[in-house]
Amino acid sequence: MQEIKQYVETHKDRFLEELFELLRFPSVSADPKYKADVLKTAEFVAEKLVEAGADAVEVCETAGYPIVYGEKIIDKNLPTVLVYGHYDVQPPEPLELWHTPPFEPTVRDGKIYARGACDDKGQFYMHIKAFELMMQTHTLACNIKFMIEGEEEVGSNNLGIFVKANKEKLKADVVLISDTSMLSMEHPSLETGLRGLAYMEVEVVGPNKDLHSGVYGGAVANPATILCQMIASLHDENNHVNIPGFYDKVIELTDEEKKALNSAPHDNEEYKKDLGIDEVWGEKGYSTLERTGTRPTLEVNGIWSGYTGEGAKTILPSKANAKISMRLVPKQSSEEIAEIFTKHFQSIAPKTVKVKVTAHHGGEPAVTPTDGIAYQAAEKAIQDSFGKKAIPTRGGGSIPIVSLFEDVLGLKTVLFGFGLDSDALHSPNEKYNIYNYYKGIETLPLFHKYFAELSK
Ligand code: BES
Ligand code: MN
Ligand code: MN
């Protein structure tokens, strides 16, 4: 531990500078205008893997953005840890809400502000620096493989193909991912589950063109009004999702599981203050932690229709659109839920409009085991590094590849995240505490050490 701390202390300025370099690449996978930048980011990650001491480093082409691979095999008889992360980031918009530009990392109050600071550049880069540290101090205890992809934020469409085609190359004993949150640095935690996702787009079409709202208004159905009514009907008065069959496969937690989940520290007042809301919202009969960790939900991500420019234009719009996503819990399948959503949404459409429903990417939910040696190794690493026992939690977000690794490679995952839910992932002013970055670099080598020990 002392040796680890010493190495981080000696190199901490460079560790930060390198992360800043990585954060300066606008690697937005969703927007084609950043294509060249995304590709440059992959090259940079590969370069840093080589510098840290990895062999067989490769920028692997896919039909989309490349996957960066690297490895260090020290002994075939030792266990192998497969580190997964993503170098792509969410779009930074709306730009006017950023206090400093999203791709000019800036430190304020001990926090790094930049798009990707926490999700996931700051987090996967900890693994590359922890690897460097283990190489330089000759303490690498396991074989290590890196797979850092560039399409996570757009659904990892090509990762499945890559994983299926490279089963031998990716052979490992466990997958290690830092792309989730901890409760806080005072209450270190490990996420033990992620929700799945079904993402839909709907279009409600009325008259064949925008109409004069005085001439036609009141006599022709307004698609924006209809869409709002349809969307409003998707929750009932208790905020349950009002789609037949939606909850059919959902397993209720046992009282014991509920108790364990709710014993995690959660400050409702702090939560509300951070978000600027006066009251929380959600499915009746469930706590906030249950709602985000264990219950399926439905959200409108975006909605648009008619005239939204300057001034007033009097029209009855021809159509209205929305993007609607559902978070799923174990046993629900994204394909099935997409199907029942489509059927339901069609069925509630009045005759006055036509409705189109299309599905975007989805992802399956995952639970990660707490009884294996990998989880134990993470617990021991946290115990050593934080001097506290890790609290198991359930994450509300989705990392679809976790279920893919299990299905294709037969591998279990440890979700070893060092972010905070309040790090503003996907929001303006995303941040990552410098403290968490260094803490991660210090803690990860302990995982490798204990995983090797417990594998014996
Ligand atoms: N790192 C997040 C997922 C996450 C965040 C899990 C916080 C747990 C806690 C990941 O980059 C992400 O944003 N995933 C997407 C899904 C994907 C299919 C676009 C998500 O959750 O919306
Ligand atoms: Mn992420
Ligand atoms: Mn993300």
Output the pLDDT for position 92.
98
- 59 and 207, same domain (yes or no): no
Tell whether ligand 1 has an atom less than 6 A from the beta carbon of residue 174.
no
- 135 and 79, same domain (yes or no): yes
Atom of ligand 1 nearest to the CA of 400: 18
- 175 and 205, same domain (yes or no): no
d(CA 104, CA 112): 10
Residue 289 in any domain: the answer is: no
CATH code for the domain of 234: 3.30.70.360
Q: How far does the centroid of ligand 2 lie from the alpha carbon of residue 195, in Å?
A: 13
Residue 288 in any domain: the answer is: no
Residue 94: how many other CB atoms lie within 10 Å = 9
d(CA 257, CA 330): 14
- 119 and 162, same domain (yes or no): yes
Instruction: Give the pTM.
Output: 0.94
3-state secondary structure of 444: helix
- 189 and 66, same domain (yes or no): yes
Residue 265 in any domain: the answer is: no
Question: How many domains are contained in the chain?
Answer: 2
Beta bridge mates, 358 = 201
Residue 268 in any domain: the answer is: no
Tell whether ligand 1 has an atom less than 6 A from the beta carbon of residue 41.
no
Residue 86 pLDDT class (50, 70, 90 cuts): very high
The strand pair at 181-182 and 419-420 is best described as: parallel
Residue 214 in any domain: the answer is: yes
Q: How far does the centroid of ligand 3 lie from the alpha carbon of residue 277, in Å?
A: 23
- 353 and 404, same domain (yes or no): no
CATH code for the domain of 185: 3.40.630.10
Average pLDDT over residues 283-302: 96
Alpha-carbon distance values, 307 to 70, 157, 352 (Å): 50, 34, 21
Cis-peptide into 248, omega within 30 deg:
no
Contact 409, 170 (CB under 8 A): yes
**Residue of 152, 367, 368, 401 to test ligand 1 pocket, by largest number of atoms within 8 Å of CB:** 152
- 143 and 216, same domain (yes or no): no
End-of-domain residue from the set 363, 388, 410: 363
Nearest-ligand number for the alpha carbon of 398: 1
Q: How far does the centroid of ligand 2 lie from the alpha carbon of residue 50, in Å?
A: 23
Output the pLDDT for position 156.
93
Ordered DSSP codes for 243-258: STTTTTTPPPPPHHHH
State the number of CA atoms in the 13 A half-sphere of 309 facing the CB: 4
Range of the domain at 426: 2-194+366-454
- 89 and 218, same domain (yes or no): no
Predicted confidence (pLDDT) per residue in 162-220, tens digit? 999 999 999 999 999 999 999 999 999 999 999 999 999 999 999 999 999 999 999 99
Tell whether ligand 1 has an atom less than 6 A from the beta carbon of residue 152.
yes
**Residue of 154, 398, 401, 416 to test ligand 1 pocket, by largest number of atoms within 8 Å of CB:** 398
Predicted confidence (pLDDT) per residue in 309-345, tens digit? 999 999 999 999 999 999 999 999 999 999 999 999 9
Q: How far does the centroid of ligand 3 lie from the alpha carbon of residue 174, in Å?
A: 22
- 218 and 315, same domain (yes or no): yes
Output the pLDDT for position 68.
98
Residue 273 in any domain: the answer is: no
End-of-domain residue from the set 348, 363, 378: 363
Residue 262 in any domain: the answer is: no
pLDDT exceeds 90 at position 128: yes
- 310 and 420, same domain (yes or no): no
Q: How far does the centroid of ligand 2 lie from the alpha carbon of residue 154, in Å?
A: 11
Predicted confidence (pLDDT) per residue in 433-448, tens digit? 999 999 999 999 999 9
End-of-domain residue from the set 363, 390, 410: 363
**Residue of 118, 179, 324, 421 to test ligand 1 pocket, by largest number of atoms within 8 Å of CB:** 179
- 56 and 12, same domain (yes or no): yes
Residue found by looking up tokens 């992620």 in the block: 194
Residue 45 in any domain: the answer is: yes
- 30 and 158, same domain (yes or no): yes
